[in-house]
């Protein structure tokens, strides 16, 4: 048996959790004040996942990059591969919040979506005097 200490991120309270493990199996969770704490501890100890945030380049936009994120969490061990897969991606403006930038990143079933609206850059008009 081993013990693992965690701080819960399931709600704003931030309970200090103690997780008793038998190998990779969660035997007991203590310190939580709600069910979310127990659920978080079990998931974190058996299958940790994370939301990934990054940015990609925008062509023809009012700004040069757009912030993006995974729609849902992906396995923790795929975070760096996800960031690498986003490197060098360029999207064309206009972009709306929620637009899918990359479908099914790394075969996780999770899409990368835009988290900001980016309009097209205004074209400059040269006047002849």
Compute the distance between CA of residue 105 and CA of residue 35 in angstroms, rounded to an integer.
31
Residue-range domains of the chain with CATH: 2-47 (no CATH), 53-114 (3.10.530.10)
pLDDT of residue 127: 59
Query: What is the per-residue pLDDT across 88-118, written as a single tens digit (0 to 9) for each?
Result: 999 999 999 999 999 999 999 999 999 999 9
Per-residue b or e along 45-57, where b marks 16 or more CB atoms closer than 10 Å to that residue's CB: beeebeebebbbe
Per-residue model confidence as pLDDT tens for the chain (129 residues): 999 999 999 889 999 999 999 998 999 999 999 999 999 999 999 999 999 999 999 999 999 999 999 999 999 999 999 999 999 999 999 999 999 999 999 999 999 999 999 999 986 555 565
pLDDT of residue 128: 62
pLDDT of residue 58: 98
pLDDT of residue 122: 80
Residue 112's closest CA among 126, 120, 101? 101
Compute the distance between CA of residue 66 and CA of residue 54 in angstroms, rounded to an integer.
9
pTM: 0.81
Compute the distance between CA of residue 83 and CA of residue 62 in angstroms, rounded to an integer.
24
């Amino acid at each position: 048996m081993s013990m693992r200490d965690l701080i819960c991120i399931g709600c704003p309270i931030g309970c200090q959790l103690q997780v008793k493990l038998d190998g990779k199996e969660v035997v007991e969770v203590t310190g939580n004040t709600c069910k979310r704490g127990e659920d978080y501890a079990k998931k974190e100890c058996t299958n940790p996942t994370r939301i990934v945030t990054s940015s990609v380049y925008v062509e023809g936009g009012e700004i040069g990059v757009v912030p993006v994120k995974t729609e849902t969490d992906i396995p923790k061990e795929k975070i760096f591969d996800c960031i690498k897969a986003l490197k060098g991606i360029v999207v064309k403006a206009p972009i709306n919040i929620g637009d899918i930038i990359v479908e099914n990143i790394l075969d996780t079933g999770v899409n990368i979506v835009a988290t900001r609206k980016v309009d097209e850059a205004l074209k400059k008009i040269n006047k002849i005097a």
